[in-house]
Chain A
């Protein structure tokens, strides 16, 4: 499983766009990149997943360059409720599911 590296923490203000970058230099051909969000006292929640280029859903966008050695989660116009820990995970899906190996995550604090 590819190891990921992401910032320990980030600070932002309401209404700003937040970009969290994750490094995964050893990503394998079959690996997908997945981001989860975890609020205090709750289980992680899926945000977005991608393989290459750009993926967008109602919550976030995920940018993946051609070499796939990094990825950036983009949260548009954050609010106080986006304060959480964000995990970047990399793993293959060809076994029927993606084995999740959680790192330390990025603790995002959104202030008024």
Chain B
């Protein structure tokens, strides 16, 4: 299996622009997680899905952030409009029901100028 796939790996954009991050979880995994990592705040859970349904979005910082999972093999995290403080590495992870581990993707490094 190719593991969790994220795209793009790097994104540079200007303040006010819309940013869309993409994730393909490992086939067969029924949980999908979006995390954000910064030097100041460490690694934070933003939202997670179970069987394509958002379960807990309490970690989403603002209404500017939204996430969707239209099917079992694809999810997006959108920021609109983006701000410089959104600059971070965004990770997607997936896991199987009852599993002891989450598998993380390589991350998307976002820089908002």
- Chain A interface residues toward B at CB < 8 A: 32, 34, 41-46, 49, 87, 93, 96-105
Contact = CB atoms under 8 A, between A and B. Distances in A.
* Interface SS, A side: loop
Contact of B50 (A93, A96, A105): A96
B95 A97 contact: yes
Contacts of B42: 102-105
13 contacts: A34-B100, A42-B104, A45-B104, A46-B100, A46-B103, A96-B98, A97-B97, A97-B98, A97-B99, A99-B45, A100-B33, A101-B45, A104-B42
A102 B95 CA distance: 17
Q: Which of B33, B45, B100 has the most CB of A within 10 A?
A: B100
Contacts, number: 51
Q: Which of B42, B105, B106 has the most CB of A within 10 A?
A: B42
Given A43-B4, A46-B103, A102-B43, 13 more contacts: A41-B106, A42-B107, A43-B104, A44-B104, A45-B104, A49-B101, A87-B43, A93-B98, A93-B100, A97-B102, A98-B102, A100-B33, A101-B45
A100 B45 contact: yes
Contact of A32 (B93, B95, B100): B100
